[in-house]
Structure 1
């Protein structure tokens, strides 16, 4: 059964930098929205547009037949879904649960098992694209879970993103997001080092970008975040603290596979130095500040 605005009430948990935009797109398409967030003030813009506030995930789950989460850390995901006042213990039979947080693949598999035991479907559907992608509904969405669940809500995901791919069974979305973060981690080091090198060589970094961002060195980070670095703009599209979390998930997962990822390990250590400098709430492009000091 396709979930339409006529037969669907969506519970959205997490209205931070990205979640607020994502939830807003669903409201604009006519979906009734129920909200829960640890900080109610972050939900006020959506509440003023008609969304309904709930004081707990349990209350929200009872009123929704699709629940979407976009929270911070795997422990938050576990609490929201599996706790006493969590979604799975309180949602309606037949509900479909979509976790869009970047989290642990093993936790995604556990959520699916427990959801199925209570007659629900679940998907892990982490995203890439940052604040800009969320705001412009251009997110890349990587989905794990059953084909049945994916087909029921693919049109909902298309309201928030433009590149929606079903990757396979539960956990596959999270594994794919780890591939994304591994690629970004080393690429971000390269972006920062290229700008530092350009400055040291007496070049204008903005002019350098005109030559290299559309060539073989091109990447999303080079085209979007390098310009922010040049302007001294380190505001978060994606928080340093959350990127460190993602890299640790990837390293833990790689260890389970007996896989060494030296580039990722180096990036994680540099980002930890950045956090120790008090930059954990800055955007990932703030890595420039660490490399500049070396």
Structure 2
């Protein structure tokens, strides 16, 4: 593979579009979307627009994908994209899914002589815009090195977790821990009221103490009242994905699932309490 690959991107959503834009600032970008309006999210960066996903696949050596579900990726690859990719191409999946499905994608690609990189990201749209995402990578080391520069355009931290599937496993664990920590914050905020302490004061103090965390810092800053309800919905989906994947492996995580769900349920109130001074229940 050349040092300057042709890079394709499919999945120009809320997070995918700024990731694709970051790639376009360094590499030749090829894009395809079902809706014409999706291309506007790329802004002024240069890119080649394709009329079909298959046409795009034939023009690239690295294909980045950021779709909603594993089923969406299965449909994309099965409808001619995998056949159109050149020999020795690399498919990078940036969406969150099941670790077992990731290994299945690896096998599907390998049958065509194509490498698969399991590479979900953490940081959301703000991280994508700031080019500070964390990417959990599951693939063999030499394949990661072939595409590390592409991933590094949008991800400040590119962490090799192991073989295909381990990237997804790491992302699911990350999500579960984040939302569980959110529940801790919800509960502590409630107790703080009983002590007569404003949660906003705790947030300020904890930013410089052992009680601090990424999610606590994000409340009211990255997670604003305007988007808190949407983030809570994503949090619930994250916990459900984690629990489902764990249960498929014979692990009972029902207590952790229930605890984390309480974090998602309390997110809107917690953010409003910090920003607007509303009474915390």
TM-score (norm. length: structure 1): 0.82
Q: Deviations over 1:230-255 (max 9, x none)?
A: x634358x744444333222212211
Aligned pair count?
276
Q: 1:39 to 1:266 in 2, by over 3 A?
A: farther
Change (3 A) 1:135 1:48: closer
- Which runs of structure 2 are paired with 1:31-110 in the superposition (5 Å)? 31-46=27-42, 48-81=44-77, 83-85=78-80, 87-110=81-104
The residue correspondences of 1:143-182 to structure 2 (distance < 5 A) are 143-182=137-176
- The equivalent position to 1:133 in structure 2, one of 102, 105, 127, is 127
Distance 2:217 2:102 in 1: 32
Give, in whole Å, the separation in 2 of the partners of 1:75 and 1:198. 44
Q: How does 1:1-294 map to 2 (within 5 A)?
A: 1=1, 4-5=3-4, 8-29=5-26, 31-46=27-42, 48-81=44-77, 83-85=78-80, 87-199=81-193, 201-227=195-221, 232-234=225-227, 239-267=231-259, 269-270=261-262, 285-286=267-268, 288=270
What is the Cα deviation at residue 182 of structure 1?
1.4
Q: 2:73, 2:255 → 1: CA distance?
A: 28
Please give the alpha-carbon distance, in whole angstroms, between the structure 2 residues aligned to 1:270 and 1:189. Answer: 6
Q: Distance in 2 between matches of 1:287 and 1:96?
A: 44
Structure 2's unaligned 5+ residue stretches are 274-278
Counterpart Cα distance in 2 of 1:287 and 1:263:
23
Q: SS at 2:251's partner residue?
A: coil
- Counterpart Cα distance in 2 of 1:49 and 1:131: 17
CA distance in 1, matches of 2:53, 2:263: 32
Cα distance in 2 for residues equivalent to 1:39 and 1:263: 41
Rounded Cα–Cα distance in structure 1 between residues aligned with 2:15 and 2:93: 14
| CA deviation vs aligned residue, 1:81-131 (integer Å, no higher than 9, x gap) | 2x224x313211111110010111111111111111111111000111122
Taking structure 1 as reference, are residues 48 and 138 closer, same or farther at Cα in structure 2, changes over 3 Å only?
Answer: closer
Deviates most, 168-177 or 187-196: 187-196
SS in 1 for 2:34: coil
Q: Unaligned 5+ residue runs, structure 1?
A: 275-283
Shift of the alpha carbon at 1:191?
2.2
Contact 2:269 2:280 (C-alpha < 8 Å) held by counterparts: no
Looking at structure 2, the residues matched to 202 and 142 of structure 1 have their Cα atoms a distance apart, in angstroms, of 41
Equivalents in 2 of 1:47, 1:89: separation in Å? Answer: 31
Distance 1:132-1:265 versus aligned 2 partners, 3 A rule: same
Distance 2:269 2:252 in 1: 23
**Counterpart Cα distance in 1 of 2:248 and 2:176:** 16
